[in-house]
Structure 1
């Protein structure tokens, strides 16, 4: 699991750290305070944390440490009962929905009620399994229960991506380097320009299309992303035989997982429906397809609303050198956004509607995020830090606007966007790298 870097400890005779910290990639390299943050980033955009001193940032970190420990110390039977109830409910919904789909071919006054009921129920079950259960279990949020059935090392979710590969790309990489340009591959998943500080290329001109396709096929996109397929294709000619062999082994694991998922949803359950003699085989198949599409679009929607809405900050690679615990916490707060809504909506998002709280404390039980959210907001308000939050429509609209707006090159004096696009297109046609050239 990913945690903030451990606080530096020093010996009486030296100022150098004596422990590497929980997160070695973010361990403090010097006991000296970090310099005051510049008023503007290299891109010219304002730095939202420029008004905070190093001491203030570390004080924020200490307050968050205390809050985290408070929740850890209070975990107990009520929390354990919550996750067990969610798992039990999810399984009952799935079993009931699949039972209904056995009769999905039956018409009543021209309508197939069991198809609609079964499809809706299966969609909800798949969303619950992926979001509130799978995602959070694999973050280690429930490992403290010591229940081998609800443990991050044993859980395999209903998704095309193998849990081991997802935990590496998500828990270890994304949560460590949240919104760091060039380090966090989740920032646009390599196919979207979602921040002005990302350089524009001709490829991004078509990102509204990529975005919709990515949402519909999200589980397969995530599987390819976790596999680092794009990186492999880009540098396979320079890879060692050992690295190629590892990629092939990982790819085989993904193919095996996809086959297992497809067999379950598109062969076994439709075949079971054939035994009812109601002509429901085809309808059960379409129900499974629709449920997977609904789950994919919903999951994608929740994730983009937590990571890409207006107001979210990105960070340069150099800005995390020597990053302290307080700095790491600060980056999580500024690089995440929340979705406001009902308790039911929070559960259906896996409580990732509290994305700020989740990024601060990815290992805390998800049912506790709503409880600590007002305190996080108060902390950020006291330190003049923007707490990005809005209802689902507002956040989705903001992201889709960014996807369209940032598909175009930035406005520059002395030229037009149209001229920049035409220039890039001409270079691409001539084979001079226009599609990948940055502007």
Structure 2
């Protein structure tokens, strides 16, 4: 059901894919050669803004018995945690600022303000997810081992609870990320050696103790009689950060048209094919400067997947060139408004909670699941993938009209 021949699916020849890869390599070199003082200033201003918001929030909570100050404190802390998580932690730990050779903002030294330990995230995300993006059984971010987001994952009765599980995952997103790399199910089943798991669990426990102690003991105690109000403000800030991170991440990975791949696509995969897999397996959402900043510039998820270690503040510039390449090679550029991208994701999660017999589209031609066989039976009219997908949509609409007509008669 997933894509096993990426060239065939993309309607590109080997030469086309090689040429696309060469153009994307050139774009990387151009961005790398232009990094400099302007980028440094951007990072420093982001750090100052984030720290300023946190100080403002902590100070306001000393007067949190007054409702406006509680709101100011919780809101400032939520914004500070979002910026630290999305635009600083995520991007610094990707190595986007390693070129500065500054130990304060280096991928090897940064530890972020959430319960997930940095080394665990860097392994599960930087290495596993970005190397094996959307490859079934290899990229564990496809549904985060909790949700069914493709029909390649066989339906089981427990999937009926998926809509509820999705809400829980959203609210506790930092905990889901923190547990992701521990693979506790594998440990319990004996498939992951305890010798490997024990130090990972200890590191996780230390990080959790530090985070819980800071947010739910130390800072509330510092505000004296406002202990309870500060505690609820910290809980609120963490919840808002979790929900926002969940929405941004899910909108980059699970809207319609984010394709999945079989392990066979990795055999003799070229750099051009790796680029193509990132382009087909990711999605953006439309954003102005403020929304882009608060999303860690992950509104440019396609560009981030192409160049995960290039500074986030350059992704808007990169996106212009990537769009041009998509037009040139007749490839889709998967983007839309944030509500549309999220509603498509939510529809997939809720729809795939049901057994396949209740689903209308085929396992090779559905909005969330596709393979190169979705084009079987279509006349070749020239053009590339975007043109072929338009034909597929045409055929799907015709089939649905036919079903409605048959049902009415």
Q: Say yes or no: TM over 0.5.
A: yes
- 2:221 aligns with 271
User: Map of 1:289-328 to 2, 5 A cutoff?
Assistant: 289-328=235-274
SS in 1 for 2:331: coil
- 2:136 aligns with 181
- 1:402 aligns with 348
Whether 1:123 and 2:78 are equivalent positions in the alignment is: yes
Separation in structure 1 between the aligned mates of residue 140 and residue 341 of structure 2, nearest angstrom? 21
* Structure 1 portions without partners, runs of 5+: 1-40, 107-111, 414-439
- 1:69 aligns with 29
SS in 2 for 1:402: helix
Deviation at 1:46, TM superposition (A): 10
- 1:215 aligns with 170
Whether 1:89 and 2:49 are equivalent positions in the alignment is: yes
Change (3 A) 1:44 1:177: closer
SS in 1 for 2:336: strand
Q: Give the helix-richer structure, 1 or 2.
A: 2
Change (3 A) 1:364 1:186: same
Whether 1:51 and 2:11 are equivalent positions in the alignment is: yes
User: Map of 1:35-434 to 2, 5 A cutoff?
Assistant: 49-106=9-66, 112-233=67-188, 235-236=189-190, 238-239=191-192, 243-274=193-224, 279-411=225-357
SS in 1 for 2:125: helix
TM-score of the pair, normalised by structure 1: 0.79
> Could you give the per-residue CA deviations for residues 143-185 of structure 1, whole angstroms, max 9, x where no partner exists?
0001110100000000111101110110000000000011100
Deviation at 1:44, TM superposition (A): 11
Count of equivalent residues: 359
SS in 2 for 1:338: coil
Change (3 A) 1:70 1:45: closer
Separation in structure 2 between the aligned mates of residue 48 and residue 300 of structure 1, nearest angstrom? 33
Change (3 A) 1:47 1:312: farther
Separation in structure 1 between the aligned mates of residue 246 and residue 77 of structure 2, nearest angstrom? 18
> Could you give the per-residue CA deviations for residues 234-289 of structure 1, whole angstroms, max 9, x where no partner exists?
x32x55xxx21220110111011011000000001110000xxxx32110000000
Separation in structure 1 between the aligned mates of residue 82 and residue 164 of structure 2, nearest angstrom? 24
Separation in structure 2 between the aligned mates of residue 308 and residue 387 of structure 1, nearest angstrom? 14
- Which structure has more relative contact order (CA 8 Å, sep 6+)? It is 2
Deviation at 1:203, TM superposition (A): 2.0
Separation in structure 1 between the aligned mates of residue 98 and residue 6 of structure 2, nearest angstrom? 41
Separation in structure 1 between the aligned mates of residue 117 and residue 2 of structure 2, nearest angstrom? 38
Change (3 A) 1:77 1:350: same
Q: Is the 8 A contact 2:4 2:265 kept in 1?
A: no
Change (3 A) 1:46 1:153: closer
Q: Is the 8 A contact 1:193 1:403 kept in 2?
A: yes
Q: Is the 8 A contact 1:157 1:163 kept in 2?
A: yes
Separation in structure 1 between the aligned mates of residue 72 and residue 284 of structure 2, nearest angstrom? 31
Deviation at 1:231, TM superposition (A): 2.4
Deviation at 1:130, TM superposition (A): 0.3
* Structure 2 portions without partners, runs of 5+: 360-409
Q: CA RMSD in A?
A: 1.7
Q: Is the 8 A contact 1:43 1:197 kept in 2?
A: no
Q: Is the 8 A contact 1:338 1:355 kept in 2?
A: yes
Q: Is the 8 A contact 2:3 2:9 kept in 1?
A: no
SS in 2 for 1:152: coil
> Could you give the per-residue CA deviations for residues 69-96 of structure 1, whole angstroms, max 9, x where no partner exists?
0000000000011011101110010011
Change (3 A) 1:269 1:195: same
